[in-house]
Amino acid sequence: MRERGIGGDFAIGELGGEQTGTLGASDIADPPRDPDALIRRIEAVPRAAGSTDELHVFDTISGLLRTGLVPADLRAAMYEALATLPDVVVTEEQVSLDGQRGTAIGLPRWSGTEQHDVIIDLADGAYIGERSIQTRRIGSISAGTVIDSVTVRVTPVDDQP
């Protein structure tokens, strides 16, 4: 499935969108560039019921990155913030997504059966996309199976349709 979000404006759902009180595409110019301050800012906004601070920060950052609008200085702060979260797993240069190799910054989910990864290109700091992988065998789904993935490619255009 391929979806387009003009200016990173996807409908609320799997690809993003904004709900009242959350950080979204319209806030990209505003967040602090210091990783610790960025985490505090994200923790201060409303979150999904039952979400931990760690999961809330991870999901907010991955949602902002998914817009394709995050400038390089903010991406760098976001990557540093993700790397400081407890329980984060880093898989260096071993992840292939849509033909691109990158490093995964992953967070195991509360269920203990999957991990969500943000995948970046360390050479230039580009956000490649995301994936969820099965971490334990459940039925016919083996550990290590990619459950879903999203690739983001940003292409500048002169005007929008």
Per-run averaged pLDDT (10 residues), the chain, 161 residues: 48 46 65 93 85 90 89 93 93 78 89 90 89 92 91 69 56
Helices (H), 85-156: none
* Residue 70 DSSP code: -
Assigned domain for 156 exists: no
Residue 83 lies in a domain: yes
Question: Residue 25 in 3-state DSSP?
Answer: helix
pLDDT for 95: 73
Contact 118, 131 (CB under 8 A): no
How much is the pLDDT for 25? 62
Specify if 157 maps to a domain.
no
Q: Is residue 144 part of a domain?
A: yes
Q: Burial, 133: exposed, middle or buried (Cβ in 10 Å; 0-12, 13-18, 19+)?
A: buried
Q: Which two tokens stand for residue 106?
A: 């992953």
Provide the domain limits for residue 44.
7-151
Q: Provide the pLDDT for residue 88.
A: 93
Among 84, 62, 82, CA closest to 128? 62
Domains in the chain, number: 1
Q: Is there a domain that residue 145 lies in?
A: yes
Give the residue carrying structure tokens 């879903």: 148
